[in-house]
Amino acid sequence: MRSTDPGNRPANRAALAALRSACRNLVFRPHDIARQLDEQGRYELPLEKDFPFHIALFHLKSGQYTPTWNWHERLELTTPLDGPLHMRMGEQTVKLDAGDLLIVDNLQLHNYEDFPGFDTRVVTLTFMPEFVYTPGSPVCDYTFLLPFYAKRDGRAYRLPATDESAGPVMQALVELLHRYFGSGRLAPDQCGCKASFLQILYQLIRRFEAVTILRADFVRHRQRAERLARLFEFVRMNYAERISVAQAAQLTHLSQPQFMKLFRKVTGMTFVAYLTRVRLTQALRLLRETELSVAEIAASAGFSDQSYFDRRFRRAFGKTPREYRADTPVTAPQ
C-alpha cells in the first residue's frame, strides 16, 4: 500500500497513526457491491430502525473491485486509511489522500475509480438522516446535516488530513470504531457511538460553516431529495424501457425546465446521462452473472443499438463488453 503524509501537523500525523492502529485488528473485506445488488440493481443496506447507522470496512485494489455506480438515500462519509482514493460523483472525480474525509453526494451516481497502484483500506460511515435529526428533535440538531444538503456551489466537500479539524475528526473516529466494533450492540454502546459520531459532524459543520442555511431551506432540500428518490426507484424498475425527460418531469410533478434544472443540481448530470449510467451498471451485472450474448445484454439493459452500447461501455469502464467478460469469469449472484 502507498502511504501518504497528512502534511506538517504533528497532531494530525499522530491522529492518523492512531486511526490505523485502531484498525489493525479489524477485518477489511474486498469491495464487491455488484454481488449485493438485486435484480433491479438496487443496493439495499438493512439498518436497524432504532439505530440507522453502519460502518463498512473495505480493502480496495486495482482491478479487484467492481466499478458499479450506485446511489442511496443514506448519507455517507468515506475516508481512506492508506491512500490515495479517487471517488467519482456525477461528472466530477474527487481525489483523496490518506486521512482525508469526503462527504459523499449520496444522490449522485458514485463509485470508486481505478488507477495504477490503487491499494487502500477504506472506512465508510453511512446513516439515515433521522439518526441525527427528526422533526421532533431540537431545532439545532438539523445543523449537523447541513454539509450533506447545502452544497450550493457544486463542489465536493472534502476535509483534508492537513486541516486543523482533521485531527479531532480522526480522534473521534478512533473512539467510534472502538465502540462500534467493541463489546456489543447494547444501548450504552450505541449511545457512545452516536456521541463520537456527532463529534465528527460537529467538526464538519465548523469547517464548512459557510454552508449555513435556514431550517426552511433545509426542509426544502430534503423534500426535493425525496421527490427525486421516487424517480430513481422508477428508473431502477424500468431502466430497459424508453423513459423520456418529459415523463421523468411528470413523475416528479415538475415542469420540464424545473425538472432539468433540479435534476442536474442534485445529481450533477443530465437525466439522459443518468439513465445511461444506470443501464451500463445493469449491463455490467449481466456480463458478470449470466452467459447471455453481448447483443442480448445490450437489449436487456435498454440499448437498442449495440455499437452505441459498446462505445458507451468502453468509455465508462475502459474495456469493451467482450474484453470485460474475457477478464471477468461468469459468477452466479449471491
Q: What is the CATH number of domain 215-334?
A: 1.10.10.60
Q: Domain limits of the chain?
A: 10-211, 215-334
pLDDT score for 160: 95
- What is the mean pLDDT of the segment spanning 134-163? 80
User: CB under 8 Å to 274, separation ≥6 — which residues?
Assistant: 109, 235, 263, 267
Of 240, 232, 301, 239, nearest in space to 267 by CA? 232
For residue 195, what is its C-alpha cell? 456521541
Specify the higher pLDDT residue, 151 or 18. Answer: 18
Specify the higher pLDDT residue, 15 or 46. Answer: 15
For residue 245, what is its C-alpha cell? 425527460
Whether 136 shows a pLDDT value over 80: the answer reads no
Of 250, 309, 308, nearest in space to 283 by CA? 309
State the architecture of 10-211 in CATH terms. Sandwich (2.60)
DSSP 114: P
Whether 334 shows a pLDDT value over 70: the answer reads no
Instruction: Summarize pLDDT for 160-215 with one digit per residue, the tens.
Output: 999 999 999 999 999 999 999 986 566 678 999 999 999 999 999 888 875 555 56
pLDDT score for 94: 93
Q: How confident is the model at residue 223 (pLDDT cuts 50, 70, 90)?
A: confident
Q: Are strands 85-89 and 29-30 parallel, antiparallel or unpaired?
A: unpaired
Q: How confident is the model at residue 86 (pLDDT cuts 50, 70, 90)?
A: very high
Report H helices in the chain.
Answer: 10-22, 146-149, 166-180, 187-207, 215-238, 245-251, 256-267, 271-289, 294-300, 306-317, 321-327
| CA–CA dist 195, 17 (Å, integer) | 22
**Lowest-pLDDT range, 68-77, 235-244, 274-283?**
68-77
For residue 107, what is its C-alpha cell? 444522490
- What is the mean pLDDT of the segment spanning 225-248? 87
Q: Are strands 29-30 and 53-61 parallel, antiparallel or unpaired?
A: parallel
Whether 13 shows a pLDDT value over 60: the answer reads yes
